[in-house]
Amino acid sequence: MLLIHLLVLSFLLTSFHSMTVERVMMHMESQSLHRGKVVRVEAELFFLAGDGRMISRYIQPAHQVMITNNKGEVSIYNEKENTVSYEQGVEYSTESGLIHFFLQGKTQDLGLTDLGFHQMSTRFEDGLVITEWFPPASLYHLFNRIELVHENFKPIYAGYYDAQRNLAKKVYYSEFQYIGDVYLPTLITEFNYLGNDSIINRIRFSDIRVNHQALSPWFNFEIPSDAKLRN
């Protein structure tokens, strides 16, 4: 479930630069294909911009609630068992994911500059703007470079090359929806290459609501005080 949550943090991107966003809620459906098996995940997402708090209420396959904040603290609550577990790491922070970058209008580099990447080159092909980004020394062991493709100022593709210069991951952003002053890709398709194998993830968003339209008691959800700690 944490993997799906990280995917959510890393693909929610667009530009809210022309409006003040206080809260966002949406429905998410995810499908992961690996070795002929399909894993489906369905959730409702509730994001509060003020403190970077995101509440993910998972409906399928398990009834769980995951709370993440900008400090990288994660709480996972099992509604049926009334149990809770905790995780912490910078990779879980809402500020290290693109949900933070799209709120800041950073769709030009998808937050790569904040992560220490430097732009290597820019070229233009058939109306597309293609840029290549070089990683900081601390990420040499993970990346050789990252390629971004923009069309009409919107990011439509990201290619991640590993330290051996092999294409390790491709991400496509499509079916952009204009909601008020918000452009949002409602379909994200990701290909992860693992040697001779691969994992395909497809995530779709719907029923997107912003600010005064985003009304739900789940924005105020707190884990019950009597929840038992799960090891």
Q: Judge whether 230 lies within some domain.
A: no
Q: What's the pLDDT band for 194 if we cut at 50, 70, 90?
A: confident
pLDDT, tens digit, for every residue of 50-75?
778 889 999 987 789 999 887 888 89
Q: Which of 19, 82, 93 is nearest to 226 (CA)?
A: 82
What's the token pair of residue 165? 């210069």
pLDDT, tens digit, for every residue of 76-86?
999 889 999 99
CB 88 within 8 A of CB 76: no
d(CA 107, CA 28): 21
Domain with 30 in it: 2-223
* Whole-prediction pTM: 0.81
| Domain CATH number, residue 26 | 2.50.20
Q: What's the pLDDT band for 18 if we cut at 50, 70, 90?
A: very low
Q: How far is CA 53 from CA 68, 71, 134, in A?
A: 6, 9, 31
Q: Judge whether 231 lies within some domain.
A: no
pLDDT (mean) for 31-45: 91
Tell me how far the alpha carbon of residue 72 is from its chain's centroid. Answer: 14
Buried b (16+ CB within 10 A) or exposed e, 192-212: beeeeeebebebebeebbbee
| Beta strand pairing call for 154-161 and 128-134 | unpaired
The total number of structural domains in the chain stands at: 1
Q: Judge whether 229 lies within some domain.
A: no
Q: Judge whether 82 lies within some domain.
A: yes
The Cα angle at residue 29 between residues 55 and 52, in degrees rounded to 5: 25
Q: Judge whether 44 lies within some domain.
A: yes
Query: What are 66's strand-pairing partners?
Result: 56, 76
pLDDT, tens digit, for every residue of 75-131?
999 988 999 999 887 666 655 555 555 555 667 888 888 889 999 999 999 999 999
